[in-house]
């Protein structure tokens, strides 16, 4: 079942500018397998993709059992009624435990309650593509490196 973890142990916390280097490292660790699979892993570039546009106000840390295990970044709602999930990463040690599914269920519930669609992009060849499809995201288009998805708000 999706609920392998105890939901009460999953918490979300704001971040500060001082968190940026650790979050960039977490992102690089999480992206490494997918980027290596397509021959594009570069540690500096992987870190810079987060640091160049880091905005603590849009970033939320994910904690499980009192340990930071990931983070996500949400853009402000767009004019088309969608919220872009700019980043959603879990540390490799936290993957496969249902944490990502619990986070996504909460993000989807919040979007549904607000009437927002969710949009995002995932690297071609990434295992994340199956994850997003399992959570109701539908492919809208592709470019040379990424697949883009949208999940319409669900009626509650």
Average pLDDT, whole number, for the chain? 90
Cα distances from 53 to residues 44, 58, 97, in angstroms, run 14, 11, 29
In a domain, 111, yes or no: yes
pLDDT(2) > 50: no
Q: How confident is the model over 41-74, as pLDDT tens digits?
A: 777 888 888 899 999 999 999 999 899 999 999 9
Question: Which of 125, 121, 126 has the alpha carbon at shortest distance from 141?
Answer: 121
In a domain, 1, yes or no: no
In a domain, 156, yes or no: no
In a domain, 115, yes or no: yes
| Cα atoms in the Cβ-side hemisphere of radius 13 Å centred on 151 | 23
- The domain that holds 23 is classified in CATH as 3.40.630.30
pLDDT(4) > 60: no
In a domain, 123, yes or no: yes
Residue 1's pLDDT band (cuts 50, 70, 90): very low
Predicted TM-score (pTM) of the model is 0.90
Residue 127: count of CB within 10 angstroms of its CB:
12
d(CA 10, CA 46): 26
Phi, psi for residue 66 in degrees, rounded to 5 = 65, 25
In a domain, 2, yes or no: no
Q: Which domain holds residue 137?
A: 7-151
Give the model's pLDDT for residue 133: 97
Instruction: Report how many domains make up the chain.
Output: 1
Tell the residue number behind the tokens 């990502």, with chain if given: 100
Cα distances from 19 to residues 75, 76, 83, 87, 138, in angstroms, run 18, 21, 23, 15, 32
Averaged pLDDT, 125-143: 94
């Amino acid at each position: 079942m999706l609920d392998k973890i105890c939901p009460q142990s999953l918490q979300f916390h704001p971040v500060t500018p001082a968190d940026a280097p650790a979050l960039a490292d977490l992102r690089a660790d999480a992206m490494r397998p997918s980027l290596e699979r397509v021959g594009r892993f570069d540690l500096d570039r992987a870190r810079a993709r987060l640091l160049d546009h880091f905005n603590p106000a849009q970033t939320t840390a994910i904690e499980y059992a009192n340990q930071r295990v990931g983070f996500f970044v949400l853009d402000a709602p767009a004019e088309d009624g969608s919220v872009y999930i700019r980043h959603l990463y879990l540390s490799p040690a936290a993957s496969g435990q249902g944490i990502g599914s619990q986070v996504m269920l909460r993000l989807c519930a919040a979007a549904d309650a607000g009437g927002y669609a969710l949009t995002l992009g995932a690297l071609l060849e990434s295992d994340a593509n199956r994850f997003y499809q399992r959570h109701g995201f539908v492919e809208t288009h592709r470019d040379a490196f990424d697949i883009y998805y949208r999940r319409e708000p669900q009626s509650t």
